[in-house]
Amino acid sequence: MRWSAALVLVLLLTAPAVAPAAPAVGVGAAVERSRQVTLPTVGTDVDYQLGGVRPVPRRVGIVVRDREADPRAGRYNVCYVNGFQTQASERRFWKKRPRLVLRDADGDPVVDEAWGERLLDLRTADKRKRLARIVGRWTHGCAADGFDAVEFDNLDSFTRSDGLLTRRHAVRYARLLVRRAHREGLAAAQKNLAGWDGRRAGFDFAVAEECGRYRECASYTRHYGRRVLSIEYRRSDFRWTCRRFGDRLAVVLRDRDLSADGLRRWC
């Protein structure tokens, strides 16, 4: 059918505007997402419940719990996975996989003394892939249980490796973990390592321990805006963070053991 020029012009002028396609949720565009992920909401509080589950106040919209715990219905749930170090309760599991644990020149495991956790060996592509498959199964479990996101702890373990691990090892491994999280439909949180732009590895938001104590909060907001979950363990640091970032970030004061009945305050 032939259209007159005048009619075509009328149709073009009266046709409704078509909105451009919405970008994929998240800021880590370099990492492909197989499923749409949901980012944590802003303007709400966070509860950090790694040491035990407890009731969640109405004011709290974001809850972080261990992967062995159940998510909290009606909240945005972040699944804690120790992706770079071993949990104390998993000694038997890693004892069967000795080559995946980082060892020093004497063959002894390299240990994060603050938490008694052994560092995982990220030095070769093969080991990173093998470890990513293991952590990937845990990530799948988080998604199956109904979590919305995952935080992979101890991204900065290379700083405690006596020079055996490098930032490059950690970043390459992190990309594998984030890619799996996105395939499972989970947003991925950069845990600590202030000053590094985790968006380049595909991370969607940040979980920052003691950014107030070390005056690092701005280095996270520079990359993630308001999507930073701030966890403080000292009252003075909590007050400092609340004064400067409490109107923008989700900030919680917890006891360092994160016990189920321990200290818990919000700005």
Integer CA distances (angstroms), 257 to 48, 70, 105, 155, 260, in order:
11, 20, 32, 20, 9
Reported as a single tens digit per residue, the pLDDT across 179-201 is 999 999 999 999 999 999 999 99
Per-residue pLDDT tens digits for 233-242 = 999 999 999 9
Beta-carbon count within 10 A of 21 CB: 6
Residue 10 has pLDDT above 60, yes or no: no
Evaluate whether 59 touches 47 at the Cβ level (below 8 Å): no
Q: Are the C-beta atoms of residues 228 and 46 closer than 8 Å to each other?
A: no
Over range 161-169, report the average pLDDT: 97
Note the pLDDT of residue 115.
Answer: 86
The answer to which of 20-34, 75-89, 175-189, 253-267 has the lowest mean pLDDT is: 20-34
The 10s digit of each residue's pLDDT in 24-72 is: 444 344 344 557 899 999 999 999 999 999 999 999 999 999 999 999 9
Q: What is the 3-state secondary structure (H, E, C) of the chain?
A: CCCCHHHHHHHHHHCCCCCCCCCCCCCCCCCCCCCCCCCCCCCCEEEEECECCCCCCCCEEEEEEECCCCCCCCCEEEEEECCCECCHHHHHHHHCCHHHECECCCCCECEECCCCEEEECCCCHHHHHHHHHHHHHHHHHHHHHCCCEEEECCHHHHHHCCCCCCHHHHHHHHHHHHHHHHHCCCEEEEECCCCCCHHHHCCCEEEEECCCCCCCHHHHHHHHCCCEEEEECCHHHHHHHHHHHCCCCEEEEECCCCECCCCEEEC
**Residue 1 pLDDT > 60:** no
Q: Is-contact 153 83, C-beta < 8 A?
A: yes
Residue 21, pLDDT score: 27
Mean pLDDT of 147-152: 98
Looking up tokens 């520079």 gives: 222
Using alpha carbons, select from 197, 148, 181 the residue that is nearest to residue 39.
148
Among all chains, which residue has been given the structure tokens 């909240």? Answer: 75
Tokens representing residue 202 in the block: 């595909």
Residue 11: per-residue pLDDT: 31
- Average pLDDT of every residue of the chain: 89
pLDDT at 220: 98
What is the distance between the alpha carbons of residues 122 and 168, in angstroms, rounded to a whole number? 10
At 91 the pLDDT is 87
Domain 46-266 listed as CATH 3.20.20.70: yes
Question: Quick one: pLDDT at residue 34?
Answer: 52
Q: How far is CA 112 from CA 48, 77, 116, 158, 203, in A?
A: 21, 27, 6, 10, 24
Residue 123 above 80 pLDDT?
yes
Query: What is the tens place of the pLDDT at every residue in 198-239?
Result: 999 999 999 999 999 999 999 999 999 999 999 999 999 999
**For range 164-178, the mean pLDDT:** 98
Structure tokens at 125: 């592509």
